[in-house]
């Protein structure tokens, strides 16, 4: 079999054999430097591997979720060293196979580790298209289709929030959306900061719940606000912000001579899946003239469901919302929007730099479509496209079904999963729920046989704290499933089960509980 090489060296040799070869500074200028036929063949072969090893095996429970290897061993297997000479076609294809083999299969029905999982085929094709086209979404002239798609998607998401109008931008992650919102709130509070900087400003203070995403601290640090100026508001036993505590902290900040400017509520906390009481928080924000941001990165997709949008009651009163369709809706990482109620151009005023080489005002078309100046990025991926293509294929009804099924409060064509799991945990000896789930986060302890008759006390909890990490190690090395664990606010390590993947069956739920018992039988 002929070995096809893409190396620059081979191409140069072929070029030199041609008549009238032109060299400048040792560089051949005749013709293309790459062999397009060889490249097309490589893409064709690689796509076949992707279909066979990723797409077609996505719902195969007999496959491992992961092929665990220690870092040093994995370095050797993958041959990570980059050399002066390129590898042949077949060697690079083998590298592709190895990368797939040793990567975690997040599409696997028994991957429960994160707030994303599963595969959406329409979104996947959209990603293939954008990767092949390699666009950057900043001006209409270079990205006409994707700018219009983003505009349409943002408009529809704004409708689901309940605003009559608004603005927005897709960002590389919910953390970035939260940072955008924090900076936007500060700009609205003191617009002169854009030109004059931090000097001369009062001590700015913002408020977020104890259960908020850690990106709020990172954003405060990055923007020069300071982590000490993030006042964390106490939460109740379910992880919801207590409005009365927020009121106290706002008054405290004012008495200290600080300048409160922002409240960040959370709709769907990372660990417990809690939803803050948005209406009551909005009342406080209106009373004190504070920007109201809702981090709905995880919980925002409940807005698609008529049955469950009540979880976000009051979100229409927010000034800004972060929403990640790549989580519950399976739009594919990453797909994250910041949505803003203001429609006067505040987003652009805050972030624009008016680069003359990109955003010329005398172009032959409507330059209002050159929306890239609303972003802190220059090059920007067309992340809205995969959400749009998926939405077009499934319709709003299909997306609603996906949310309803994941939350396990409605039956369509498949088994109700989360409710079943909760009931099983209650029935089985050794499984103990932390609390009744409000969303798709199911948090529980597994108490192994040796601890079941032990008295409740410090020694019991100390020993229980060690159980989840051991079970996690065993499941990873076996490759049977992936399930996250964590300690949380004084509670020892517990498992957090998240059901998102549409391919998950009742049998997978049974397997999860059976496998935990099996892995911990000697503990």
Q: Does a structural domain hold residue 41?
A: no
Whether the pLDDT of residue 380 is over 90: the answer is yes
Which residues form the domain of 162? 144-392
Tell me the CATH number at 358: 3.40.640.10
Q: Does a structural domain hold residue 40?
A: no
Return the residue matching tokens 């606010």: 489
Are 208 and 275 members of one domain? yes
Are 217 and 276 members of one domain? yes
What is the residue-wise DSSP string for 93-156?
A: HHHHHHHHHHS--TTSTTEESSS-----HHHHHHHHHHHHH----S-TTT-HHHHHHHHHHHHH
pLDDT by residue (tens digit) across 317-341?
999 999 999 999 999 999 999 999 9
Q: Which of 387-396, 404-413, 503-512 has the highest mean pLDDT?
A: 387-396
More reliable by pLDDT, 508 or 16: 508
Question: What burial class does residue 353 get, using C-beta atoms within 10 Å of its C-beta: 0-12 exposed, 13-18 middle, 19+ buried?
Answer: exposed
Are 504 and 386 members of one domain? no
Are 387 and 505 members of one domain? no
Are 250 and 150 members of one domain? yes
Tell me the CATH number at 480: 3.90.1150.170
In this prediction, residue 120 carries a pLDDT of 96
Are 427 and 469 members of one domain? yes
In this prediction, residue 19 carries a pLDDT of 56
In this prediction, residue 8 carries a pLDDT of 46
What is the residue-wise DSSP string for 282-320?
A: HHHHHHHT-EEEEEETTTGGGGG-TTTGGGGTTGGG-SE
pLDDT by residue (tens digit) across 13-50?
554 555 577 878 878 777 777 789 999 999 999 999 99
Whether the pLDDT of residue 415 is over 90: the answer is no
pLDDT by residue (tens digit) across 347-365?
999 999 999 999 999 999 9
pLDDT by residue (tens digit) across 369-379?
999 999 999 99
Are 388 and 424 members of one domain? no
Are 446 and 503 members of one domain? yes
* Global confidence as pTM: 0.92
Are 468 and 354 members of one domain? no
Q: Does a structural domain hold residue 101?
A: no
Mean pLDDT, residues 163-192: 97
How many structural domains are present in the chain?
A: 2
Q: Does a structural domain hold residue 28?
A: no
Are 353 and 415 members of one domain? no
Give the span between the Cα atoms of 50 and 93, in whole angstroms: 11
What percentage of the chain reaches a pLDDT higher than 90?
82
In this prediction, residue 437 carries a pLDDT of 86
pLDDT by residue (tens digit) across 425-451?
677 788 888 988 889 898 999 999 999
Tokens for 98, please give them: 């190895």
Spatial CB neighbours of 172, under 8 Å, sequence gap ≥ 6:
334, 336, 377, 381, 383
Whether the pLDDT of residue 157 is over 50: the answer is yes
First to last CA, the chain: 54
Distance of CA 397 to the CA centre of its chain: 23
Strand order in the sheet with 259-266: 167-171, 336-340, 320-323, 291-296, 259-266, 204-209, 230-233
Are 490 and 366 members of one domain? no
Are 302 and 424 members of one domain? no
Whether the pLDDT of residue 417 is over 50: the answer is no
């Amino acid at each position: 079999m002929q070995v096809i090489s893409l190396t620059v060296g081979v191409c140069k040799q072929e070029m030199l054999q041609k008549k009238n070869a032109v060299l400048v500074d040792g560089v051949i200028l005749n013709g293309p430097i790459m062999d397009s036929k060889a490249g097309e063949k490589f893409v064709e072969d690689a796509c076949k591997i992707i279909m066979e090893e990723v797409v077609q095996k996505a719902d195969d429970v007999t496959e491992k979720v992961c092929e665990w290897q220690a870092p040093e061993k994995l370095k050797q297997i993958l041959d990570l060293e980059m050399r002066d000479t390129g590898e042949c076609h077949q060697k690079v294809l083998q590298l592709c196979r190895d990368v797939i083999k040793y990567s975690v299969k997040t599409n696997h029905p028994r991957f429960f580790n994160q707030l994303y999982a599963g595969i959406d085929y329409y979104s996947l094709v959209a990603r293939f298209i954008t990767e092949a086209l390699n666009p950057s979404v900043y001006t209409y002239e270079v990205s006409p289709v994707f700018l219009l798609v983003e505009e349409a998607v943002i408009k529809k998401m704004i409708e689901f929030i309940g605003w009559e109008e608004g603005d927005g931008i897709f960002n590389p992650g919910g953390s970035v959306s939260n940072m955008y919102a924090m900076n936007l709130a500060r700009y609205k509070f003191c617009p002169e900061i854009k030109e004059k900087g931090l000097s001369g400003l009062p001590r700015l203070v913002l408020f977020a719940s104890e259960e908020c995403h850690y990106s709020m601290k990172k954003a405060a640090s990055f923007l020069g606000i300071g982590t000490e100026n993030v006042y964390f508001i106490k939460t109740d036993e379910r992880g919801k912000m207590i409005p009365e505590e927020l009121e106290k902290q706002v008054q405290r900040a004012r008495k200290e001579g600080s300048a409160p400017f922002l409240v960040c509520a959370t709709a769907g906390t990372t660990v417990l899946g809690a939803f803050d009481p948005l209406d009551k928080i909005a009342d406080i924000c209106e009373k004190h003239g504070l920007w109201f941001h809702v981090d709905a990165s995880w919980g925002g997709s409940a807005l698609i469901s008529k049955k469950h949008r009540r979880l976000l009651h009051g979100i229409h009163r927010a000034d800004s919302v972060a929403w990640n369709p790549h989580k519950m809706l399976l739009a594919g990482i990453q797909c994250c929007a910041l949505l803003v109620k203001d429609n006067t151009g505040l987003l652009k005023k805050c972030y624009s730099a008016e680069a003359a080489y990109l955003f010329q005002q005398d172009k032959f078309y409507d330059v209002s479509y050159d929306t890239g100046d609303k972003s802190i990025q220059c090059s920007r991926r067309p992340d809205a496209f995969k959400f749009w293509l998926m939405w077009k294929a499934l319709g709003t009804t299909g997306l609603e079904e996906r949310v309803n099924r994941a939350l396990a409060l409605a039956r369509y064509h498949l088994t109700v999963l989360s409710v079943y799991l909760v009931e099983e945990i209650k029935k089985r000896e050794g499984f103990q729920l932390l609390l009744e789930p409000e969303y798709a986060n199911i948090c529980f302890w597994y108490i192994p046989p040796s601890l079941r008759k032990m008295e409740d006390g410090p020694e019991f909890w100390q020993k229980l704290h060690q159980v989840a990490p051991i079970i996690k190690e065993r499941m990873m090395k076996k490759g049977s499933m992936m399930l996250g664990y964590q300690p949380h606010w004084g509670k020892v390590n517990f498992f957090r089960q998240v059901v998102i993947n549409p391919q998950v069956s009742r049998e997978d739920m049974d397997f999860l509980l059976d496998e935990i018992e099996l892995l911990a039988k000697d503990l």
